[in-house]
A and B are shown apart, each in its own frame.
Chain A
């Protein structure tokens, strides 16, 4: 029934010095659909792949706004991700109430990691099965953190989590050195390119991804579908099976396509309402 005798609860060590339950929780992150993040000096972009559980269902939301200066992208158990997002929202709002200023991103991430760590040290608890990419801006600049179920956290220039994220990581590793001085548009472009790497040939469309930005003089927000689609078209990020992108003169056509597609999209997402 169990893989071995040392994985019945989170606090039991294996003789090799491992905590199996914590490792299983880390596996849950890899099962979730991909989420990626990257940052420049002034902006952070989060992007995720939306996968519906079934043909009949809508997909689940994977990117959450925490505050004007912080947002998260999640991979793993969405329910756990929502609980943690709610916690982060409440910490931010309480800090603003007390000090009339935004909570520094690094401090929120430490609090979040501490919360996750407690779950690895209590026999009656389970670790959160979710990885979070935390994007934020504070007085020390733009930040991107990764928080995992073990209670560890790391700061990154760029990172990817979730299924097939290795492909996106490879892409980001090849290019991350230029990100620091990237413009907002270049970051979005690289985000979409990295995201496409995780799709394995499936066509990148605005209906299967979510993109968000936070930056100097730009509060965290999720880009709407039309904007994302026009970015995809502008960057000519198309799958292998698709014919070459059309000329600039046809710029209105994708929009028209979008309009035609929209009702179908809405039909597939009844739970959005």
Chain B
């Protein structure tokens, strides 16, 4: 009897141990990423915050990275999973370069590869806890797409992850057009990031903007946006918000 009992206990222990090897919830997370197409390529914006739960724990996490010659990747969600993704992509690009045959991975190929990777991991019930934005330019072709932790993927002229879907994309739908200049594109992204900064508690006022064109990738130094907190709505936020206190 005792033997059986202890066996069972051990079994349960084993099961729970195996289960805990999976990502059950994220630890350190980054918030929204926004990407848009513009006249010469793709622009992307993300702040540099890393939240430990709801604590704003880290203040200089780089969440925009270049992938090979033609692609740019932005990530929200679990930062360590993003680092694992970057390791995988580094290897992918290295092996691609090792052929040394004049062919190279474009943004479409990288996006599809990421989609397979994300969907494969969710099928193992061990997802990479991220929403990714992938942009790039190859042979004059602009590409912008997104994929999330369960493998949902699509292309669009402008994309956003997380809170950005609710706060930034309505602005982009109103104001985006295909002929945006670099300056106007940056202004539009800053407008979106400012709204996110005001209304997304995980957003911080230190961000980077990256651009990718036929010439290559440039990621800006971190900088802050000008803010103005004295709007009447900020002074007394509960006025007109029925049900709040």
Contacts and interface: CB of A to CB of B under 8 A. Distances in A.
Contacts, number: 33
Contacts of B101: 104, 106-107, 140
Interface string A50-75: 00000000000000000000000000
Interface in A103-119: 104, 106-107, 110
Interface size class of B (residues with CB under 8 A): 10 to 19
B126 interface: no
Given A97-B116, A98-B116, A99-B113, A138 B103 contact: yes
Contacts of A241: none
Interface string B95-137: 0000101110110110111001000000000000000000000
B110 to A, nearest CB: 8
Nearest to B106: A101
A127 B29 CA distance: 54
B103 A99 contact: no
A100 B109 contact: yes
A272 interface: no
B103 A100 contact: no
A100 B99 CA distance: 19
A257 interface: no
A240 interface: no
A98 B103 contact: no
Count chain B CB atoms within 10 A of each CB in A97, A99, A106, A138 and give the residue with the most: A99
B108 A98 contact: no
B73 to A, nearest CB: 16
Contact of B108 (A100, A107, A138): A100
Contacts of B105: 99
A139 interface: yes
A100 B103 CA distance: 15
Contacts of B113: 98-99
Interface size class of A (residues with CB under 8 A): 10 to 19
A109 to B, nearest CB: 10
Contacts of A138: 103
Contacts of B103: 104, 106-107, 138-140
A97 B120 CA distance: 13
Nearest to B116: A98
Contact of A140 (B102, B108, B111): B102
A65 to B, nearest CB: 22
A107 B109 contact: no
A67 B10 CA distance: 53
A138 B116 CA distance: 23
A106 B108 CA distance: 20
B112 A99 contact: yes
A107 B112 contact: no
B101 to A, nearest CB: 5
A107 B99 CA distance: 8
A147 B96 CA distance: 23
Interface of B: 99, 101-103, 105-106, 108-109, 111-113, 116, 139
10 contacts: A99-B108, A99-B109, A99-B113, A100-B109, A100-B112, A101-B106, A101-B109, A106-B101, A110-B99, A140-B103
The 3 A-B residue pairs whose C-beta atoms are closest, nearest first, are A100-B112, A99-B109, A104-B103
